A and B are shown apart, each in its own frame.
Chain A
């Protein structure tokens, strides 16, 4: 497989996942905002902007954040490289450069999603709220993965796409937990206890609300939510699950057995995964959740770079 094609498949996976994650967080945050409208401290928009990594850019274009401009910025703004529309556009561009290597069904599905989302009117949607738009994005991502798994040979290319989305998901989940944990430490206006409302929102945003109740039979507690999102072995949006996916895909590409590694990306992934398997949530909280998550994110970046060095941009000695 050409390096350029593997690279494009990796980013195709990443962009689709980023679009879905952003849509999930936007949707749930808005619903939380509606339910909290009566509360004195209202909703803070900064965390969601910094989570998307574009807080500075937002200030530059919009000034004070509110429900409408945050939605517009994160969903539609062509100046925001991480906006949902930009992610879908870039996913499509990547797919287009490799459309001979992906299935016709994948291309038509993604192309259809691009046109469907492009037909949404930003003004109308901003007035109506994000649910309709975000729902379409989330469903679009699910459908894309379904079509992909059902029509693309599960060869190296499929593995690179899988790594792209798993790595992106791991990072977004880490950022999400970190954002919630920090707002827990510093309640908006210093009044009132930080309620379980936002943690519930976090669970809902990753589609883990029902699973949480089945697992813990307890009220929403920050430690349990964090445990579920970071360490759960089987929940498809947990960090551990995403890293297991990454590892299995990397090993399939290099044909490496358990206990060994073929390159730096596999070494880092294995190291991170060992921690996720054996660390306990109480210990993580004791030593500092923020530091733990930061370290994970740092490692995810390292893995991404190592994959690029091993497969996409290696030195050619000619």
Chain B
């Protein structure tokens, strides 16, 4: 396909914008914004690049002052960098969002039923809908959880599901489930705050659905889990501590929910009850929103070398004296090989067809799939099943020969640990390119955040749009130079 060239008069930010062969979220046709983008396009297009640069500075300063930074240790003294924020919002019309919301709700309910079944009667294994060997070989499957009754039968209260829009079909696909300790909701809330401060006028004349109900909804759900009843529930957020890259989010959420942010060393288990050490002595803890991985949660139960968790915590959990969100063992549901079976799960538990599509997935421990993968490595993306955050990945088309050969060996040595998928040509949103000082198309994904109370799935309108700020890059992870955008769902028909 030829790159379409948009010519606009004057010295605007969109001069020379090329939509290219990808699905452009802003432009349906060259030079013509989609109706839900019309107002925002108008605002930005009428803005002089110098004015825009001024606003960018304002936004960056705001992030810097709030300490929304991550630390890079390559110069010996630790430099703090900003997570890049791009000012052009990602906009979804409400009709499209409603479809996504239905699809996510269906998926979250099914994943939860799956976890309930796996750690309960295991009917799905007995019915041979998913191979038992696949489950038992999953690194995040926790035998310790089998037969354990969890509060209200909910396993994954909080999950983030990564979606991408395929340029070829224009449809949203699920790319990954994150049902352990998904990161990023704080950026959704902070991005919106900074955006309203930096570009107040862009919000005028249209209604952007608010995102700020998340902390109170999460707090409400955590409260319902309290074994001593909701009135006196003592809820805490367990963080690995200040050196964790998500520490900002942990403290942000604790503050927004008005709950105590604790580290493992603040907690103690005595007589299968969890307490925290306060200035007035020990105080009982009822619910732990834990942002510490299963492995590190309890050195008596899981990894014995962990200093981040609380020895004896699982004993208190088994005794029903404390609730954990998410429960240990949910990681089996976001294993990237199990991902291939989610449509099966949805049909099995809900008797419905999946609303959102999944990307075709090759499981390397299946002989027929493996031979296909090995023959097509340069065209595929290969992922390690238990990893997240863009680690342990091979992007076939951009990899060199030696990288591909290295992955071939790793796959052959441990086929269960790898899956492969065709590359999805991600959609793009105009984003500011500092080099040319103009807008350029950059690839995006979308991570909505879902909360589940056992009855209802509530989803913050929009979610986190991550953007690959390097030209041509399809990897949106922050460790790979990714940034983020404010994400809008517009009320009404557009």
Contact = CB atoms under 8 A, between A and B. Distances in A.
B266 A316 contact: no
Contacts of A1: 278-280
B13 interface: no
A101 B279 contact: no
B138 interface: no
Nearest to B261: A100
Contacts of A93: 242
A97 B265 CA distance: 13
Contact of A4 (B66, B255, B265, B268): B265
Interface string A289-307: 0000000000000000000
B251 A253 contact: no
B67 interface: yes
Given A2-B260, A4-B263, A96-B242, A318 B277 contact: no
Q: Which of B77, B255, B266, B269 has the most CB of A within 10 A?
A: B255
Nearest to B312: A318
Contacts of B278: 1-3
Contact of A99 (B255, B263, B277, B279): B255
Contacts of B77: 78
A253 B278 CA distance: 13
B282 A100 contact: no
B252 interface: yes
Given A100-B252, A111-B66, A112-B65, A3 B242 contact: no
A87 interface: no
Contacts of B251: 96, 98-100
Interface residues of A, number: 26
Contact of A318 (B250, B261, B268): B268
B260 A97 contact: no
Interface in A60-106: 78, 93, 96-101, 104
Contacts of A3: 266, 277-279
A107 B251 CA distance: 12
A294 to B, nearest CB: 31
Contacts of A318: 268-270
Contacts of A99: 67, 251, 255
A6 interface: yes
A4 B65 contact: no
Contact of A111 (B67, B242, B261, B279): B67
Contacts of B254: 100
| Interface of B: prevailing SS | mixed
Interface in B41-74: 64-67
B439 interface: no
A253 to B, nearest CB: 7
A2 B67 contact: no
Contacts of A311: 279
B67 A96 contact: yes
Nearest to B255: A100
Contacts of A111: 64-67
B469 to A, nearest CB: 24
Contacts of B380: none
Contacts of B260: 2
Contacts of B265: 4
B345 interface: no
A68 B116 CA distance: 69
Contacts of A78: 77
Contact of A2 (B64, B66, B277): B277
Nearest to A307: B279
Contact of B268 (A100, A101, A316): A316
A260 interface: no
30 contacts: A2-B262, A2-B276, A2-B277, A2-B278, A3-B277, A3-B278, A3-B279, A4-B263, A4-B265, A4-B266, A4-B277, A78-B77, A93-B242, A96-B67, A96-B247, A97-B241, A97-B242, A98-B251, A99-B67, A100-B250, A100-B252, A100-B261, A101-B255, A104-B66, A108-B65, A108-B66, A253-B279, A316-B268, A318-B269, A318-B270
Given A100-B250, A112-B65, A318-B268, 16 more contacts: A1-B278, A2-B260, A2-B262, A3-B278, A3-B279, A4-B265, A4-B277, A78-B77, A93-B242, A96-B67, A96-B251, A98-B261, A100-B261, A111-B65, A115-B64, A311-B279
